[in-house]
Chains A and B, each alone.
Chain A
Amino acid sequence: MIQLIQQLVNGLVMGSIYGLVALGVTMSFGLMGIVNFAHGAFVMAGAFAAFYLTTLYGIPFLLAAAASMGIVGALGFLVERYSFRFARHEPINGLMISIGLIYVMENAAILLFGPENKAIQPLFSGTIEVGGVVLATQRIFVFVASSLLLAFFYLYVKKTKSGKSMRAVAENAFAAQLMGISIDRIIGLAFVIGCVLAAAAGVALGSLFVVTAHMGAAPLMKAFVIITLGGFGSIRGAFVAAFIIGLVDSLAAGYVSSAWADIFGYVVFILILIFKPKGIFGEGT
């Protein structure tokens, strides 16, 4: 029982991180029609920025996390403005750009910081015990912080004018343009937000596991599974799917074998696609 609860909690922690990554992928796809394979590199960049600021400069964790989100957001701004923007009408070019970016960013990270594994000093080091279940405090913190970010994002997209116009552009850019909405600005903004959330995921992962140049690949694969499962372009779907994948992975790791953990996520993924080919929520937000 205790082990079950622990696995469930781990699943929620991972699910909340995957959710952060998936949102950026789903926005790039929904707004630009680009499958951004480089999105994992922004996760990595976020972790490296936080590592650099905390370990090398001794900046407090929360401040470093915020700064990392800002830095990666700015990086995302430049990348969208000066590369993806020109690929919007040629998805294949977007694909090439994203693959090129992976190489550039990962190698830049190795050049700048060296190839060895790194770790971000977590904000909390101890554990807390709730009813006999022992949980790492940092994990709980990551879950709470990531969930808050997801909730903020949800409210932003649902309730604010800017969030609504983002949905409008995703649905029908032509009509949105006729309302006076600037497609360029919305897409740029969405890309930056996606990168900021990716950086947050990177900091979270880096504080729980290790920081490496290739650390973005695994959560990115999860993100692809999640947005397919949730229904392309569906934010609600992505949230639910993120937690499903997080839970399945962690239960499989706990009860079957951690070596096989990833397989189970894909099995559930394939099963759902067989029975609900448009994802759990079909299309829609």
Chain B
Amino acid sequence: MLISLEHVSSKYGNVLALRDISLEVDEGELVTLIGANGAGKSTTLKVISGIMKPATGRVVYSGQDTVSRSPRQLIEAGIVHVPEGRQVFAHMTVLENLEMGAFLLSDRRLIEERLDLVFRHFPILKSRLQQEAGTLSGGEQSMLAIGRGLMLRPKLLLLDEPLLGLSPRLCQEVLAIIERLHEEKMAILLVEQNAKAALKISDRAYVLETGRTVTSGKASNLLADDEVRKAYLGF
């Protein structure tokens, strides 16, 4: 297993956001996390990237407990978290945003290589390099946010609702890129409200409800299961 959460709970102050989360992502796997608003999806990603610590339970990455490791150490170990709502640096240029994504790299040649890699996935960014990120369209900002996350070539990419607010055509484009990253053997944990679209490209999925993992299975099985569809997927 690349990463596993074992009965994790976590709190914001006194508010229990995660009650009992257990999930796993294997090397090269694309796993989707679905659940209603407030179910704890984003919080789960924060626990994995180390910016929140579990109150109880364990997070094990590459065979090691992550509890004592800083977010920065976890990034260095290959976990990159692309947060909800894009969060690009609006007053910095596209290029500067991508450079910040490579903050932990110092080899200029390597950074250039990674830039090329990002441009391969998102050619549009290349023509916008000197533009302030805040002036990009919503879709372009989403691409920049993902591209910024790819600068470190993560082993485990955490994507929090990358399709939010995108037109159907852009959704297809971003989904295709996620599929391509999957084919390149990057492990991806995808949080998505658009469950149908996400499940179609995923290997497996977990369903979260009020801070618990309630169902899981192969994505195709969940899609085919009428009860799961009715209860959790909403279509």
Q: Using CB atoms and an 8 Å cutoff, list the residues of chain A in contact with chain B.
A: 161, 164-165, 167-168, 171-172, 174-182, 283-285
Contact A164 B91 (CB under 8 A): no
Contact A164 B99 (CB under 8 A): yes
Rounded to whole angstroms, the CA-CA distance of A72 and B149 in the bound complex is 38
B96 at the interface (CB under 8 A from A): yes
Which of A174, A180, A283 touches B87 (beta carbons < 8 Å)?
Answer: A174
Contact A164 B87 (CB under 8 A): no
Rounded to whole angstroms, the CA-CA distance of A172 and B84 in the bound complex is 13
Which of A164, A177, A180 touches B92 (beta carbons < 8 Å)?
Answer: A164
Which of B81, B82, B91, B96 touches A283 (beta carbons < 8 Å)?
Answer: B91
In order of increasing CB-CB distance, the 6 nearest A-B pairs are: A175-B87, A180-B75, A180-B104, A180-B72, A179-B103, A284-B91
Q: Which of B189-209 contact A (CB under 8 A)?
A: none
Contact B100 A168 (CB under 8 A): yes
Provide the residues of chain A in CB contact with B96, threshold 8 Å.
Answer: 164, 167
Provide the residues of chain A in CB contact with B148, threshold 8 Å.
Answer: 179
Rounded to whole angstroms, the CA-CA distance of A73 and B143 in the bound complex is 41
Provide the residues of chain A in CB contact with B54, threshold 8 Å.
Answer: none
Provide the residues of chain B in CB contact with A284, threshold 8 Å.
Answer: 91, 132
B57 at the interface (CB under 8 A from A): no
Contact A180 B91 (CB under 8 A): no
Closest CB in chain A relative to B20 CB, distance in Å: 26
Q: Which of B49, B81, B96, B103 has the most CB of A within 10 A?
A: B103
Which of B71, B90, B91 touches A178 (beta carbons < 8 Å)?
Answer: B71
29 contacts between A and B (CB under 8 A): A161-B99, A161-B103, A164-B92, A164-B99, A165-B100, A165-B103, A167-B89, A167-B92, A168-B89, A168-B92, A168-B100, A171-B89, A171-B91, A171-B92, A172-B87, A175-B83, A175-B87, A175-B88, A177-B71, A178-B49, A178-B51, A178-B75, A178-B81, A178-B87, A180-B72, A180-B75, A181-B100, A182-B72, A284-B132
Provide the residues of chain A in CB contact with B90, threshold 8 Å.
Answer: 171-172
Contact A180 B89 (CB under 8 A): no
Closest CB in chain A relative to B138 CB, distance in Å: 16
Q: Which B residue's beta carbon lies closest to that of A158?
A: B96
Q: Using CB atoms and an 8 Å cutoff, list the residues of chain B in contact with chain A.
A: 49, 51, 71-72, 75-76, 80-83, 87-92, 96, 99-101, 103-104, 132, 148
Rounded to whole angstroms, the CA-CA distance of A182 and B148 in the bound complex is 17
Provide the residues of chain B in CB contact with A172, threshold 8 Å.
Answer: 87, 89-90
Provide the residues of chain A in CB contact with B82, threshold 8 Å.
Answer: 178
Provide the residues of chain B in CB contact with A165, threshold 8 Å.
Answer: 100, 103
Closest CB in chain A relative to B161 CB, distance in Å: 15
Q: Which of B75, B88, B91 has the most CB of A within 10 A?
A: B91
Contact B71 A180 (CB under 8 A): yes
Q: Which A residue's beta carbon lies closest to that of B82?
A: A178
Rounded to whole angstroms, the CA-CA distance of A283 and B134 in the bound complex is 12
Closest CB in chain B relative to A155 CB, distance in Å: 15
Rounded to whole angstroms, the CA-CA distance of A156 and B89 in the bound complex is 18
Rounded to whole angstroms, the CA-CA distance of A34 and B148 in the bound complex is 30
Q: Which B residue's beta carbon lies closest to that of A233?
A: B91
Rounded to whole angstroms, the CA-CA distance of A174 and B89 in the bound complex is 11
Contact A177 B51 (CB under 8 A): yes
Contact B83 A178 (CB under 8 A): yes
Rounded to whole angstroms, the CA-CA distance of A81 and B101 in the bound complex is 27
Closest CB in chain A relative to B124 CB, distance in Å: 21
Rounded to whole angstroms, the CA-CA distance of A283 and B92 in the bound complex is 12
Beyond the given pairs A178-B51, A283-B91, 17 more chain A to chain B contacts, judged by CB atoms under 8 angstroms and listed by A's residue number, are A167-B92, A168-B92, A172-B87, A172-B89, A172-B90, A175-B88, A178-B71, A178-B75, A178-B82, A179-B100, A179-B101, A179-B104, A180-B104, A181-B100, A181-B103, A182-B72, A285-B92
Closest CB in chain B relative to A139 CB, distance in Å: 35
Rounded to whole angstroms, the CA-CA distance of A181 and B91 in the bound complex is 18
Provide the residues of chain A in CB contact with B71, threshold 8 Å.
Answer: 177-178, 180
Provide the residues of chain B in CB contact with A168, threshold 8 Å.
Answer: 89, 92, 100
Rounded to whole angstroms, the CA-CA distance of A197 and B96 in the bound complex is 26
Provide the residues of chain B in CB contact with A179, threshold 8 Å.
Answer: 75, 100-101, 103-104, 148
Rounded to whole angstroms, the CA-CA distance of A172 and B97 in the bound complex is 12
Closest CB in chain B relative to A143 CB, distance in Å: 29
Provide the residues of chain A in CB contact with B100, threshold 8 Å.
Answer: 164-165, 168, 176, 179, 181
Rounded to whole angstroms, the CA-CA distance of A176 and B148 in the bound complex is 11
Provide the residues of chain B in CB contact with A175, threshold 8 Å.
Answer: 83, 87-89
Rounded to whole angstroms, the CA-CA distance of A260 and B93 in the bound complex is 43
Rounded to whole angstroms, the CA-CA distance of A30 and B81 in the bound complex is 24
